[in-house]
Amino acid sequence: MSSSSAAERTERQTSASSSMKSWRNSNIRRAALFRLVLQQRSRNEALFAGPRQHGHLLRNNEQSLPPIPDPKGDALLKSGEFGYIEKYEGWGSLGQLPSSKNIVHKLQFRETYPIQVSPMSVAKNFYPNTNGDVVDYFAAPAYSGQYSLDGTFFYACCRDFCVYIYDTTNPTKFTQTKVIRSETGRWTITDANLSANNEWIAYTSITPYVYVAKTSPHEDFQTMLNFADNRSHEDFGLWSIRFSNDGRELVAGSNNRNIYVYDIVEKKVILKIKGHNDHVNAVCFADESSNILYSGSDDSMIKVWDRRSMHGKKPSGVLIGHREGITKMMSSDKFGELSEDDKDLRLEWDYRFMEYPGNKYDTHPHDVSVMTYRGHRVLKTLIRCYFSPTYSTGQSYLYTGSEDGNVHIYSLDGRIIQKLDVDAAVPRNAEPRRPRRTSGYYDRPVTRDVSWHPYLPILTSTSWSGADQNMGVIICHSYNEPEDI
């Protein structure tokens, strides 16, 4: 056999071996790709398995959410603890449903059936439903805004360390009567609160100091209360303050994880509790006795404190359910009912500047809350939420601000019954605006605080506004009767 034939045979064997190896590698790649496709299909089936709704597939985490209206919330709404419950359903003898929102129908039904219909049942179905009108602009972001308990005046606090007071004796006309200027502060006024008799307002900043001033435009009096222990040279900031019912005490939450109770008459701290593992953003008294305190923190816990049994300074109870930090709490007139808002907060992520990175549908495995209300956005700042007024609605609604510039009004059964658009109320030429860096849309307001008039279907919102939300605006949202009722 010649050497050339041997060389050709070797070359053919090498080529065949190479082809076999290439074919084997190709099959391995195909098999791997096939397994990857199967795995991805399995993931998709697990992710999107289940019923369709409105032509779209639902994710598993969305399927696990309770229906709206939520049966638990519906039971809460019909329990009788929050406002008058209509006894009759169906058509009445007047040819109209008792639940008609037309005020003439309501009054006719009340005159016909005076025993079955309470005055509250007439008023509770009327809630603010307009985008509103601008009350005032500020050159600094507005952080807080609330009506007095009798609705005769409204106050707003801004980052310029001023408290602005308006006469609202005429509910649709805000007349500025007084400006209270802080003597010192850090970053902004973080919170303010009125005494029960409306004569005093307390406000604070990210400092250990609370200022207490007269609300009357004819009295220019202001005093400073020091919550720090001067012997230890403490330096901290206060996030939340509330008067006791008798106006003698203030409860405060701080960024050093403490809860303070201050005696205004004695001018000293009478109770200091290391109550949480993070900032205490929200505090309030539970009832008129001022014996029970609530505190909410960035550690996601709400704690209940009974001042009559503070041995060891341990909480009487811990309310679990929030996944993130608590921003606001309000105690209902019905003892034991509490509304609270939480903020989107994760490690290595700042809720002030970034979108929420977690799953917004996740729930706490040990959630003990009666109801959860979804739809608003708690980003950039400590958004506030409240129960609606007792006198006109029986506290049968929850309402809150939102980072998206809307005011959300919830029925207790979980439905969003009204959204009020603050941005729509601000004229385009009223304040400087510029497009966002990442899109062509204007900077929307951030609605930080909201306040419902104690007797009327009027709600006033306090928002950051302008380019980069570096200004402030107050919007008054009123009620207009729909044309179709």
Residue 147 and residue 50 share a domain: no
pLDDT band at 71 (very low <50, low <70, confident <90, very high): confident
**Is 449:384 a contact under the CB 8 Å cutoff?**
yes
Last residue of a domain, one of 35, 62, 89: 62
302-324 per-position pLDDT tens digit: 999 998 887 768 888 888 766 66
**How much is the average pLDDT of 237-258?**
94
235 against 231, higher pLDDT = 235
- Counting Cβ atoms within 10 Å, is residue 415 exposed (0-12), middle (13-18) or buried (19+)? middle
Last residue of a domain, one of 14, 42, 62: 62
The reported pLDDT for the residue numbered 207 is 94
Query: How far apart are alpha carbons 139 and 159 in whole angstroms?
Result: 9
**Residue 55: HSE in the Cβ half-sphere, 13 Å Cα cutoff:** 0
The reported pLDDT for the residue numbered 309 is 83
Is 15 a member of any domain?
A: yes
Instruction: Provide, rounded to the nearest whole percent, the portion of the chain with pLDDT above 70.
Output: 64
**Is 177:167 a contact under the CB 8 Å cutoff?**
yes
**Is 116:405 a contact under the CB 8 Å cutoff?**
no
CATH number at residue 334: 2.130.10.10
Taking 90 as the threshold, does the pLDDT of residue 107 lie above it?
no
Residue 194 and residue 328 share a domain: yes
The reported pLDDT for the residue numbered 349 is 39
Taking 50 as the threshold, does the pLDDT of residue 49 lie above it?
no
Query: How far apart are alpha carbons 396 and 334 in whole angstroms?
Result: 11
Is 187 a member of any domain?
A: yes
Is 77 a member of any domain?
A: no
Residue 429 and residue 331 share a domain: yes
Query: How far apart are alpha carbons 308 and 287 in whole angstroms?
Result: 14
Residues in the chain: 485
Residue 27 and residue 166 share a domain: no
The reported pLDDT for the residue numbered 257 is 92
Residue 168 and residue 313 share a domain: yes
Is 306 a member of any domain?
A: yes
One-letter identity of residue 441: Y
The reported pLDDT for the residue numbered 426 is 87
Residue 136 and residue 55 share a domain: no
What's the number of domains the chain is made of? Answer: 2
The 10 Å CB-count burial string (b at 16+, else e) for 269-284 is bebebebbeebbbbbb
325-358 per-position pLDDT tens digit: 777 777 665 444 555 555 543 333 344 545 555 5
Taking 80 as the threshold, does the pLDDT of residue 151 lie above it?
yes
> What CA–CA distances, in Å, run from 415 to 322, 403, 426?
20, 19, 27
**How much is the average pLDDT of 271-282?**
91
Tokens of 2: 């010649």
Residue 376 and residue 240 share a domain: yes
Whether the upstream peptide bond of residue 389 has omega within 30° of 0, thus cis, is no
360 against 434, higher pLDDT = 360
**Is 164:179 a contact under the CB 8 Å cutoff?**
yes
| Average pLDDT in the chain | 77
- Counting Cβ atoms within 10 Å, is residue 59 exposed (0-12), middle (13-18) or buried (19+)? middle
Tokens of 444: 């929307």
Question: 19-28, 129-138, 218-227, 472-481: lowest mean pLDDT where?
Answer: 19-28
Looking at the DSSP bridge assignments, the partners of residue 239 are none
Last residue of a domain, one of 62, 83, 113: 62
Strand order in the sheet with 317-319: 280-285, 292-297, 302-306, 317-319
CA atoms 186, 382, 365, 368: torsion sign: positive
- Least Cα distance to 137 among 440, 478, 431, 448 occurs for 431
The reported pLDDT for the residue numbered 376 is 82
Residue 309 and residue 443 share a domain: yes
CA atoms 128, 131, 132, 137: torsion sign: positive
pLDDT band at 93 (very low <50, low <70, confident <90, very high): very low
Residue 170 and residue 23 share a domain: no
Is 101 a member of any domain?
A: no
- Counting Cβ atoms within 10 Å, is residue 294 exposed (0-12), middle (13-18) or buried (19+)? buried
Taking 50 as the threshold, does the pLDDT of residue 231 lie above it?
yes
pLDDT band at 9 (very low <50, low <70, confident <90, very high): low
pLDDT band at 275 (very low <50, low <70, confident <90, very high): confident
Is 114 a member of any domain?
A: no
Residue 149 and residue 46 share a domain: no
How many CB atoms are closer than 10 A to CB 334? 14
Question: 212-216, 369-373, 423-427: lowest mean pLDDT where?
Answer: 369-373
The reported pLDDT for the residue numbered 78 is 72
How many CB atoms are closer than 10 A to CB 452? 26
One-letter identity of residue 362: D
Taking 80 as the threshold, does the pLDDT of residue 359 lie above it?
no
Taking 60 as the threshold, does the pLDDT of residue 188 lie above it?
yes
Question: 2-11, 189-198, 219-228, 403-412: lowest mean pLDDT where?
Answer: 2-11
Q: Residue 56 sits in which domain range?
A: 3-62
The reported pLDDT for the residue numbered 438 is 40
Q: What letter would DSSP give residue 312? A: G
Helix (H, G, I), strand (E, B) or coil at 203: strand
Residue 182 and residue 294 share a domain: yes
Is 299 a member of any domain?
A: yes
Instruction: Provide, rounded to the nearest whole percent, the portion of the chain with pLDDT above 90.
Output: 42
Is 225 a member of any domain?
A: yes
The 10 Å CB-count burial string (b at 16+, else e) for 351-383 is beeeebeeeeeeeeeeeebebbbeebbbbbbbb
Helix (H, G, I), strand (E, B) or coil at 275: coil
The reported pLDDT for the residue numbered 380 is 80
In whole angstroms, how large is the CA radius of gyration of the chain? 30
Taking 90 as the threshold, does the pLDDT of residue 457 lie above it?
yes
Taking 70 as the threshold, does the pLDDT of residue 70 lie above it?
yes
Taking 60 as the threshold, does the pLDDT of residue 158 lie above it?
yes
Residue 351 and residue 240 share a domain: yes
The reported pLDDT for the residue numbered 137 is 94
